[in-house]
Amino acid sequence: MELAATIQKIERAASALATQSVARMDAELPWFRELPAEQRAMVTLVAQAGVGSFVEWLRGDGEAPAVGDEVFDGAPRELARLIRLQHTVALIKVTIDVVEEQVPHLAAPGEEEALHIAVLKFSREVAFGAARVYARTAETRGAWDARLQAMLVDGLLRGDDGDEIAGRAAALGWGDSSPVAVVVGRSPGGEAAVILHAVHRATRRMGIDVVAGVHGERLILVLGGSTEPEEVAGKLVGQFGEGPIVVGPATPSLAEAGASARAALSGHRAAPAWPGAPRPVSAHQLLAERALAGDNEARRILRIDVYNALERAGGSLLSTVDTFIATGGVLEGTARAVFVHPNTIRYRMRRVAEVTGFSPFVPHDAFTLHVALTIGRLDPTSDVIR
């Protein structure tokens, strides 16, 4: 491609071409007019670099390697972060249109057709270059977001300051979502960025905010904006690997979600003790297993919210449920042991469920009540609320 005379004319017109391109963008692209001056200046630099790159490409007979990448060297990250890919394509089109219109004035006599074909080929190369830049930026941003999310989740587990956690969440685009609950399960394996992308895509369809992190073999999700986190977790089962999925209690805000994270993590460690647990299962349903595994917070909850609550309720509830468990959950045997009618036992067991949230008629709930009564008798009672 011998276009020496044409190349010289394009070099002399380079600045004017860039200026015309930016003016055309301003006239035809409403969103471009709304850009801050700094970002418009970046686009001007890219337009100038594009014309210069075109000249070098012509000199190299259209064989320059990876042509187009260097066009964005002036501000690749900034543009990719602030201007969407489809907008960048529109900017490229405007610039190419301006150059094409000037072909009759830029081409030396007899070189018009060759220059027109060269412009078309170069525009294709620049489009590919833009795609490469955005793909690299997205890959980098995905890896960074994965690290930032992992840091936030790690901060929740450590009990970091709430304001610091909120600041990290704001950097990830977390809204003022409430309530907040943490879900812990096994990671499906693979690249963390790929796992998190799938999680965000799934939760976006549900209108739920999420921050997620892969910690070793665990996938930890912080869900915001759902009053039914267990229901949401049930729709996200496919994002986890095999094994239990545990949902921590809902908290009013992200700053307070550390308690939910610790409960979910404790429940995940203890969940193997309940092979028949639902998937997902709440950390509250695993209180007995957590307590047996050494979770002091679970012991405290069972002592205060179950054992002490039954003591305060009176009406022989504590002694009756104790006897009910001892007789293997047999109504008639319990009634004979406490000298009342079986219907009275039914009534008292319903009251136990109302007071504690655990029904003696449900096998695993009865197990939890048994553990709670044992802990209530073993642990100090200095924090009993009477």
**Left (φ > 0), alpha (ψ -120 to 50) or beta: where does 207 sit?**
left
Q: How confident is the model at residue 365 (pLDDT cuts 50, 70, 90)?
A: very high
In a domain, 336, yes or no: yes
More confident call, 117 vs 375: 375
Are 260 and 310 in the same domain?
A: no
* pLDDT higher than 50, residue 385: no
Residue range 290-301: mean pLDDT, rounded: 96
pLDDT of residue 89: 67
The conformational region for residue 35 under phi > 0 = left, psi -120 to 50 = alpha, else beta, is beta
* Domain end (from 264, 285, 306): 285
- Are 279 and 296 in a shared domain? no
The answer as to whether 153 is a domain residue is no
Q: How many CA atoms lie within 13 A of 275 on its CB side?
A: 0
pLDDT score for 65: 43
**Within a domain: 181:** yes
Q: Please enumerate, as own/partner, the contacts of 102-106 that have beta carbons within 8 Å and a separation of 24 or more.
A: 102/13, 102/17, 102/20, 105/9, 105/13, 106/6, 106/9, 106/10, 106/13
Q: Give the range among 42-56, 213-227, 285-299, 347-361 with minimum mean pLDDT.
A: 42-56
Number of domains in the chain: 3
262 shares its domain with 303: no
Same domain, 224 and 335: no
285, 313, 333: which is the final residue of a domain?
A: 285
On the question of pLDDT at 379 being above 90, the answer is no
pLDDT for position 188: 93
Same domain, 184 and 304: no
**108 and 211 in a common domain:** no
Asked if residue 361 has pLDDT above 70, the reply is yes
Task: Please tell me whether residue 34 adopts helix, strand or coil conformation.
Answer: coil
Of residues 90 and 77, which shows the higher confidence score?
90
The CATH number that applies at residue 362 is: 1.10.10.2840
The per-residue pLDDT for 324 is: 94
Lowest mean pLDDT among 42-56, 246-260, 267-281: 42-56
Does 351 share its domain with 312? Answer: yes
Extended strands (E) in the chain = 180-186, 209-215, 218-224, 246-247, 281-282
What's the residue count for the chain? 386
**Whole-number Å distance between alpha carbons of 194 and 147:** 13
Residue 22 pLDDT more than 80?
yes
pLDDT category of residue 289 using cuts at 50, 70 and 90: very high
Domain final residue pick, 79, 111, 140: 140
Model pLDDT, residue 9: 84
Backbone angles phi, psi at 182, to 5 degrees: -110, 140
Mark whether 111 and 87 lie in a shared domain: yes
Tens of pLDDT, residue by residue over 143-194, are 546 566 666 677 776 666 666 676 666 666 676 678 999 999 999 988 877 8
Q: Do 125 and 21 belong together in one domain?
A: yes
Task: Check residue 108 and give its pLDDT.
Answer: 82
Range of the domain at 343: 290-378
Determine, yes or no, domain membership for 149.
no
Q: 247 and 131 in one domain?
A: no
Which pLDDT score, from 0 to 100, does residue 256 have?
A: 84
Between residues 121 and 350, the one the model is more confident about = 350
**Residue 201 CB neighbours (<10 A):** 10
Same domain, yes or no: 100 and 66: yes
150, part of any domain: no
Across 326-353, average pLDDT: 93
Please indicate, yes or no, if residue 93 is contained in any of the structural domains: yes
How confident is the prediction for the chain on average, in pLDDT? 81
Per-residue pLDDT of 205-264, as tens digits, reads 888 888 888 888 999 998 988 889 999 999 999 999 999 999 999 999 888 888 899 999
Q: Is the pLDDT of residue 281 over 90?
A: yes
The domain that contains 234 carries what CATH number?
3.30.70.2730
Alpha carbons 204 and 210: distance in angstroms, whole number = 9
Question: Would you say residue 258 lies in a domain?
Answer: yes
145 domain-assigned:
no
Question: 69-73, 80-84, 97-101, 255-259: which has the minimum mean pLDDT?
Answer: 69-73
- State which of 44-48, 117-121, 250-254, 340-344 shows the largest mean pLDDT: 340-344
Q: Quick one: 272 and 186 in the same domain?
A: yes
At residue 247, the pLDDT reads: 97
